[in-house]
Amino acid sequence: MSVNSGTLSQTGSTDAKPAIKEWFFVVVLVYLLLVSVALIGSGFKAAAGDNAKELFAFAVNPVSGLVIGIVATALLQSSSTVTSIIVGLVAGGLPVGIAIPMVMGANIGTTITNTIVSLGHVREGEEFKRAFAAATIHDFFNLLCVIIFLPLEILTGYLAKAGHMLSVFFAGGDSMSIKGLNFIKPLVKPAVHLVEGTLPGVLPQVTAGIVTIIIGIVIIVAVITMLSRLLKTLMVGKAKEILRKSVGRGPLSGMFSGTFLTVLVQSSSTTTSLIVPLAGNGVFSLKQIYPFTLGANIGTCITALLAATAITGPNAVFALQIAFVHLLYNVSGVLVIYSMPLLRNLPIRAAEALAEVSTDNKLFALAYVLGVFFLIPGVLIFFSSKGGV
């Protein structure tokens, strides 16, 4: 009996060591994922040089504002970055009426990261279907928000009015910026600086930026492929139950988790991208992932609010106004769409249908990414500039 017990103890100890090792690799892979997202944004900034803000120069009407928000965020891989720039532009004199569609566009553009992450599962049929649906449900929800709220805002201006009321109420205090609490940037900065410090010495700045973007995308695909394999073996037992307690307990718990995690890392792209592999591996269903992504939408508003509170001067109230508009817009989307079963189910059905088609023919996935984030916005901005929209 004692021999058997000893054997079991030794076996348990032997099994524990690989598990600890594998969890360590998971941590390393998550870190690399964070670095890769940072590299893509950093690479674009390097390629654009000092002209990044010129992306917004063509925003002369609501449609062009929406399109610029989509494309800029898709390229920068960060709605937090784009909305912070928008806050600065409003403080510099950009009309709030043009900035509001840009913020709406930023919500759509940030979802491209999830789609890129889901492509790491492209070789596995059912796994890819689940991951791609989990990624694109965020897209369809944000598209539905624009379809509902952009015309409503143009007709009534309710977001601008509500944002103005809140900004007047809160404006007038000292700067409350706490950007220094973002602990993700200090973690990834050494790795990003290593790449940034190597390439410019060999390549011109623009070329170095493009190469950095490519490196980031390659790392994302490689990391997700390896992370997926590890999670299949690790997401069982206690660890699986802990995650289910935060995301799988119910819609409110899922929304809170998405909001809280996004506030911590100040990036909805990061938090939603980390959850996509779990959906791909079947740990969470699409309906469980859905509220989490909505919480991420709300959580990402903290960055613009922090940026706005740091601005002083006569236009500070307008900067705070657009930051509150961002928050009100995302909260309105959750309250209106998710509370109504008919509207709530539309993103689910659309994501499942697109995932089904894309699993059978992977070119649909590529066409979707290029079409939604670049081709259609390009066509819209062309006709908008010609006065046709």
pLDDT tens string 319-341: 889 999 999 999 999 999 998 98
> If you average pLDDT over residues 21-43, what whole number do you get?
75
Q: What is the pLDDT of residue 202?
A: 65
CA dihedral 335, 282, 41, 204 (to 10 degrees): -160
Q: Which of 18, 74, 388 is nearest to 233 (CA)?
A: 18
The pLDDT, as a whole number, for residue 311 is 62
**Side chain identity at 293, as an amino acid letter?**
T
State yes or no: pLDDT of 317 exceeds 80.
yes
Helix, coil or strand: residue 235: coil
Residue 388, pLDDT above cutoff 80: no
Specify the pLDDT at position 59: 59
Residue-wise pLDDT tens digits, 44-69: 666 655 554 555 555 567 888 888 88
> Looking at per-residue confidence, does 313 or 10 come out higher?
313
Task: Give the separation between CA 40 and CA 209, rounded to whole angstroms.
Answer: 9
Greater confidence, 253 or 34? 253
Enter the tokens of residue 83. 């909305």
| Amino acid occupying residue 242 | I
| Model pTM score | 0.69
Among 1-15, 135-149, 257-271, name the one with the lowest average pLDDT: 1-15
Q: What are the pLDDT digits (tens) for 213-231?
A: 788 777 866 776 676 567 6
Over range 234-259, report the average pLDDT: 68
Indicate if the pLDDT at residue 176 is higher than 50.
Answer: no
pLDDT at 145: 94
Q: 93 burial class (0-12, 13-18, 19+ CB within 10 angstroms)?
A: exposed
Tell which wins on pLDDT, 365 or 147. Answer: 147
Residues of 162-199 as b/e, b for ≥16 C-beta within 10 angstroms?
A: bbbebbeebbeeeeeeeeeebebeeebeebbeebbeeb
Average confidence score pLDDT of the chain: 76
Domain boundaries, the chain: 24-385
Give the range with max mean pLDDT: 14-23, 91-100, 176-185.
91-100
Q: Is the pLDDT of residue 78 over 90?
A: no
Between 73 and 103, the higher pLDDT residue: 103
Nearest to 86, CA basis, from 377, 329, 336: 329
CB-neighbour burial class of residue 243 (10 A; exposed 0-12, middle 13-18, buried 19+)? middle
pLDDT of 151 strictly over 90: yes
Q: Higher-confidence residue: 316 or 200?
A: 316
Position 241 scores a pLDDT of 55
Band (239; pLDDT cuts 50, 70, 90):
very low
Maximum CA extent, the chain? 86
DSSP labels, 170-208: HTTS-----GGG--HHHHHHHHHHHHHHHSTTTS-HHHH
Question: Which among 91, 40, 344 is positioned nearest to 219, based on CA atoms?
Answer: 40
Q: Which of 139, 136, 228, 184 is nearest to 38 (CA)?
A: 184
